[in-house]
Chains A and B, each alone.
Chain A
Amino acid sequence: MKPIHGDKLRGHLETIILSVLERGEAHGLEILRRLDAAGCGLLHLKEGSLYPALYRLEEAGRIEATWEEEPHGRRGARRRIYRLTAKGKRELAKGREEWSSFVQIIGGILGAPA
């Protein structure tokens, strides 16, 4: 299979993050690791672009974050731990429904049903 790059993920990234956080709270790098594992190494996302998406989700109240207590061995830089909110869970369910309908419609048009 061919790798999927950032541009193709645009528009889906926020729902993808919500689904990753459904498996439990995580910091940015851990979210990327989970994404990499789930995508079998075929999701090629520029790591910096994860953070604006996280901030947008936080601003919208779909996730919440807390700073970790200790800098985790790195000089002064702490990590933020993100977790899903009730609103985020609702949005994730909605995102899944939208994705199913999108795949069904476009798959039908392309003659390649899911």
Chain B
Amino acid sequence: MNDATLQELKTIVEQSVWPIRATMVRKRQIREELLGHLMATFEEEVQRVGDERTALDVTKKRFGNRNELAKDLQRSVGWRDQWRSVLESLGRQPGESVWHLALKHFLFTLLIYSTAMLVALPLVLALLILRAPARFDMAVTLDGHSVTTVLIDVIVKLVLFNTALSFLLALVMNRIGPVVVGSRLGRISLSVLLGLVLPFALTGLFAPAAIVLFSMVRQVRQERQHRKDWA
């Protein structure tokens, strides 16, 4: 099989796999399997018809419509893999600069945290009113400020802290991530750090930053696994 034929077979695979929403690892597996199938079919057809051009045409015909296959493949991807692919999209994409990645994390955290806080604020206020309706007064002051002002102030600080934290994490993790995850001591330290962050993440305080950190660790581990698989 010459390189042009191989390239054409790879294009057929790519047309079927590229549109799928799945993790990079899953897509790589599908690509490899479909390519292996097409190469074997092509070899079979060359033996049968004796002409590479005809064999390629028959191979394509036997394989079927690529758009339909892409839709069918998408339906075969489980919800866990689709969810992981969303997390994965937060990781660094091929050719993406670290600054672009950090900005993406900054915006993601800002969006998630602002939305969460917009939901949380009325709930906290409603809870305060329900628990002590007589004592609660929007005009009641804490150190000269109303309760609402104090709450908004805390929320704004939390949002700013988290967005800044995820921005810095994106910058730092992409520099030291592969080194940290590459050693046993690094992995243990990271696990301890994640363990420390988790209780806060569960309370919602550092959840967005924890998600960003988790997605980056996951990406680094996947890349290591991929290198191991293809070594």
Report yes or no: A46 in contact with B65, Cβ–Cβ below 8 A: yes
CB closest residue in chain B, given A71: B36
A77 in complex: contacting residue of B16, B36, B73, B78, CB < 8 Å = B36
Please, how many residues of chain A have a CB less than 8 angstroms from a CB on the other chain?
Answer: 22
Q: Is the CB of A49 within 8 A of B69?
A: yes
Chain A residue nearest to B6 in the complex (CB): A75
Answer yes or no: A52 CB below 8 A from chain B CBs. yes
Give the residues from 45 to 85 in chain A that come closer than 8 angstroms, CB to CB, to chain B. 46-49, 51-53, 55-56, 59, 71-72, 74-80
Which of the residues B6, B29, B34, B43 comes within 8 Å of A48, measured between beta carbons?
Answer: B34
Partner of B64, one of A47, A56, A72: A47
User: How far in angstroms is the closest Cβ of chain A from B114?
Assistant: 36
Please provide the chain B residues from 113 to 144 with a CB less than 8 Å away from any CB of chain A in the complex: none
Given contacts A46-B65, A49-B69, A75-B6, contact A28 B76 (CB under 8 A): no
CB within 8 Å of B: which of A79-96?
Answer: 79-80
Chain A hits for B77, CB < 8 A: 55
- Within 3-31 of A, Cβ neighbours of B (below 8 Å) are at 6, 28-29
Judge if B192 is at the interface, Cβ distance under 8 Å.
no
Establish whether residues B72 and A52, one from each chain, have CB atoms under 8 Å apart when the complex forms: yes
Assembled-state Cα–Cα distance A27/B34 (Å): 11
When the two chains form their complex, are residues A51 and B63 in contact, meaning their CB atoms are under 8 A apart? no
Q: Are A49 and B64 in touch, CB under 8 angstroms?
A: yes
Identify B36's interface contact among A52, A53, A59, A79, CB under 8 A: A79
**Could you tell me the distance in whole angstroms from the C-beta of A16 to the nearest C-beta in chain B?**
16
> Interface size of B by Cβ–Cβ distance < 8 Å?
28
> Digit string of B1-21 for contact with A (CB within 8 Å is 1, else 0)?
100001000000000100000
1/0 per residue B25-39: CB within 8 Å of A?
000011011111101
The CA of A80 and the CA of B32, in the complex, are separated in Å by 9
Q: Is B100 an interface residue (CB 8 A)?
A: no
The CA-CA distance from A53 to B41 in the complex, in Å, is 19
CA distance A20 to B35 in the complex (A): 22
Q: Are A74 and B64 in contact (CB under 8 A)?
A: no
Please name all residues of chain A whose beta carbon is closer than 8 Å to the beta carbon of B66 when the two chains form the complex.
48
Distance of B186 from chain A, by nearest CB (Å):
29
Given A29-B41, A59-B76, A75-B6, A48 contacting B63 (CB threshold 8 A): yes
Q: Does the CB pair B63–A78 fall under 8 Å?
A: no
List, in ascending order, chain B residues with CB within 8 A of A76's CB. 32
In the assembly, what is the distance between CA of A23 and CA of B98, in Å? 52
- Nearest A residue to B230 via CB reads A76
> Is A79's CB under 8 angstroms from B69's CB?
no
Q: Which of A59, A74, A80 contacts B39 (CB 8 A)?
A: A74
Q: Determine if A55 and B73 form an interchain contact, defined as CB atoms under 8 angstroms apart.
A: yes
B62 contacts partner chain A, Cβ-Cβ < 8 Å? yes
User: Which positions in A face B, CB cutoff 8 Å?
Assistant: 6, 28-29, 46-49, 51-53, 55-56, 59, 71-72, 74-80
Which of B's residues lie within 8 Å of A, judged by CB? 1, 6, 16, 29-30, 32-37, 39-41, 43, 62-66, 68-69, 72-73, 75-78
